[in-house]
Amino acid sequence: MYVKKVLAAFALILGCSAGVAQQTGQVQLKIEPSNRTLTVSAEERVTADPDIAILHIGFETQPSDAKTAYAAGAKVSSDVIAALKQAGIQETSIRSENQRLERVNNSAHKFKLIQTWTVRTPPERAAEILDVAVTAGATDSGQIDWTVKDEKALEDQALEQASTRAKTKADILAKGMGVHLGALIYVGNDFSTARISSTMGVANFSGNSGDWSTLPRERLAIEPRKVSRMATVYAVFSIE
């Protein structure tokens, strides 16, 4: 008899067009006398200190003819990369993100060269490496992404905690309703990945806009942000 109830409830879920919501992933069941099930959802968020900072840095040259803009950009590009490597950043930690020669205000004779990179560094060196890049010619810091080396481990931890929480909620709910919790019929999950970023801009000190060498040699105060992963578990149990 128990097996028949479980199979009937399972068939109801599979046959119901509203079985699993497409937008939220939450289980939706028809309320019928034969539907002896208990549905719960639980979410857990896990946070950790970052062990990787991903800097987005770049530059753009002053408007000029295409050949001059390209030559100026090539020099800044070489200077920034050389400075990063001199600071101990491995070549494998530097990745080109974008590079283009762009017309200025649709002018036929004015161009600027734009180039950006991502640079991976330990969080405690983020301010130092940003300072190195700007000193070498970078004019835009873009943003900093904070993450961890093993993102999957963080997701697994959140999922495990959410699963435990869902089972606990089901046990408590069944006890409160005066029924016995039966077999697990359905389980689903959803992840929310939050890669935290810090956004900032660095003024352009080329041309007539100023002289970087005359400014105070102080670094930005950059505080790493926590890395967060959230898992949601939906579960349906039969009740006896």
Residue 210 lies in a domain: no
User: Residues 182, 222: contact at Cβ < 8 Å?
Assistant: no
- 171's tokens: 């046990």
Read off the amino acid at residue 110. K
pLDDT for the residue numbered 201: 42
With a pLDDT cut of 90, the percent of the chain lying above it is 65
Whether 192 shows a pLDDT value over 50: the answer reads yes
Phi/psi for 149 (5° steps) reads -65, -40
- What is the tens place of the pLDDT at every residue in 80-115? 999 999 999 999 999 999 999 999 988 788 999 999
pLDDT for the residue numbered 223: 87
The DSSP secondary-structure symbol of 83 reads: H
Please enumerate in sequence order all residues whose Cβ is within 8 A of that of 101, keeping only pairs 6 or more positions apart, or say none. 66, 69, 70, 73, 111, 112, 113, 114
- 137's tokens: 């010619």
In angstroms, the CA 236 to CA 40 distance is 7
In angstroms, the CA 236 to CA 158 distance is 20
Residue 167 lies in a domain: yes
In angstroms, the CA 26 to CA 166 distance is 13
- 240's tokens: 């006896």
Answer whether 0.85 is exceeded by the pTM: no
Counting beta carbons within 10 angstroms of the beta carbon of residue 154, is it exposed (0 to 12), middle (13 to 18) or buried (19 or more)?
buried
Over the range 7-22, which residues count as b (16 or more CB within 10 Å of their CB) and which as e? eebbebbeeeeeebee
Please enumerate in sequence order all residues whose Cβ is within 8 A of that of 125, keeping only pairs 6 or more positions apart, or say none. 53
Residue 121 lies in a domain: yes
pLDDT for the residue numbered 150: 94
In angstroms, the CA 168 to CA 178 distance is 15
Average the pLDDT over 50-67 and give the result.
95
The parent domain of residue 90 ranges over 52-147
Q: Return the CATH number at 168.
A: 3.30.110
Query: How many structural domains are present in the chain?
Result: 2
Residue 203 lies in a domain: no
In angstroms, the CA 182 to CA 203 distance is 64
pLDDT for the residue numbered 31: 58
In angstroms, the CA 19 to CA 22 distance is 9
- Domain check: are 90 and 172 in the same one? no
- Domain check: are 171 and 134 in the same one? no
Residue 221 lies in a domain: no
- Domain check: are 60 and 142 in the same one? yes
What Å distances lie between residue 141 and 118, 135, 198, 226, CA to CA? 10, 12, 10, 20
- Domain check: are 103 and 178 in the same one? no
